[in-house]
Structure 1
Amino acid sequence: QSSNVNNYNTHTTTSTPTYSNTRSFQRPYSAASNSTNTNAATENSSTKQQYSPPIQFETLTKLHSKNPSEILDEMLHADFQLQRFLNDNRMRRRYDWINSMTILLEKITQCIELRERIVMIFGQISKSRYLEGVYDEIGEPDLRTNQLRFTFIQSFLKVSNIFLSMIPHSAGGLTKIFERIELLFTKIEIKSSVRQA
C-alpha cells in the first residue's frame, strides 16, 4: 500500500509542473475581455491571410463582362488579393495574364469620377511584376500574326496616360516601357521606309 501511495505522489508531482508550464503561456483569466477578443481577432485575421486561396486566371476573366464600377469594387475587395495578382510570377511571364489585367485596368479608367478609388489601385502597380511583364511582352510578336500586339500596346498606353495624370511621380516605373514602345515604332518606320525605297 505504501508503494502505491508513493507511485501516486510521484505521478502527481511530475504531472503538476507540466500543467503549470502549459498555463504559463496563457493569458490570465482576470485579463480584460476586450483584450482577449482583440487578440483572437488578430489571430483569426493572420490565419485567414496564411490560408488565403490561390489566385486564379478565371478570377480576372470573369470581371471582363462587368461594368467599370463593378470591376473597381471587385479589385479593391480584400478577397480579390490585388497585390498577389500584380506580383505573381505568372503576371510576369504569361501574356494572357498580363493582357487580362490590362483590360481590367483600362476599363476602370472609365470611372474618372471615382478618381480616389482608381488611385488606390494604380498606387499598387509601380514596381510590380505586372509592369515587368508589360515591358517584356510589348516587344514580343503575336504568335498568330507575327506582328506586334498593337491592341495590347494601345490599351496599355491608355492606362498609363490616366495613371500619370493621377500619380505623376510614378513616371519612373513607366519610362523604360515608353522608351521601348518608341524604339519599336521607330524600327517599324525605318523598315517601311526601306521597303518603299
Structure 2
Amino acid sequence: MTEQEHNEQVENEAEQAQQTEQEEAVEVDISAESSQVEELTLALAGAKEQTLRVQAELQNVRRRAEADVEKAHKFGQEKLVGDLLPVVDNLERALASINAEDDANKAIIEGIELTLKSFIDILVKHKVEPVNPVGEPFNPELHQAMSMIENPDVEPNTVIDVFQKGYTLHGRLVRPAMVVVAKA
C-alpha cells in the first residue's frame, strides 16, 4: 500500500468515525427530544384534566349559587308571612264573634270581609296556601293535634275540627294547622 492509499484509508476511517459520532449525537438528541416531547405531552394532558375539573367545579358553584338565590327569593318571605298570619286569624275571629243579625254591624262585617278577602288574595298571589284539613287523615307534617275526641261517625285519626288554619309558602309549611283528631 502506498502512502497515498494509506492516507486515503486513514482519511476514510476518520470520516467514518466522525460520521458515526455525528449519527450517535443525532440519536442522543432525538432520544432527548423524544423524552422531552413525552414529558410535555403528559404535562399537557394533566393541565387539560385540571382545566376540566376547575370548569366543572365552577359550574357546580354557579348552579349552587343560582339555587341559593332562587331559594332565597322563594322563601325569603317566610318570616314576614309568619308575622302576618295572626292578622288573618284576628280578622276571621272578628267575623266569627260579631252579631251578623244586628243591622248596625252590617257595614262593619262587610268591611272586615273585604279586608280579609283582599288579604287572603294577596297571600295566594305570593303562593301562600291555607291548610284547612277537616275530614282529611291526620298528617303530623302538616297538622298539630291539639286534642283527640271519640267520634264514631268518622274514621280514626281523621281531622274533625280545626282550631287554627295552617299555611304553606311554595309548598313548605309556615305554620301547622291546629286540629282536633278522632280517636281510634
TM-score tier, shorter chain, comes to: under 0.3
In our comparison, the structure showing a higher alpha carbon Rg is: 2
- What TM-score do the two structures reach when normalised by structure 1? 0.26
Of Structure 1 and Structure 2, the greater helix share is in 1
Of Structure 1 and Structure 2, the greater strand share is in 2
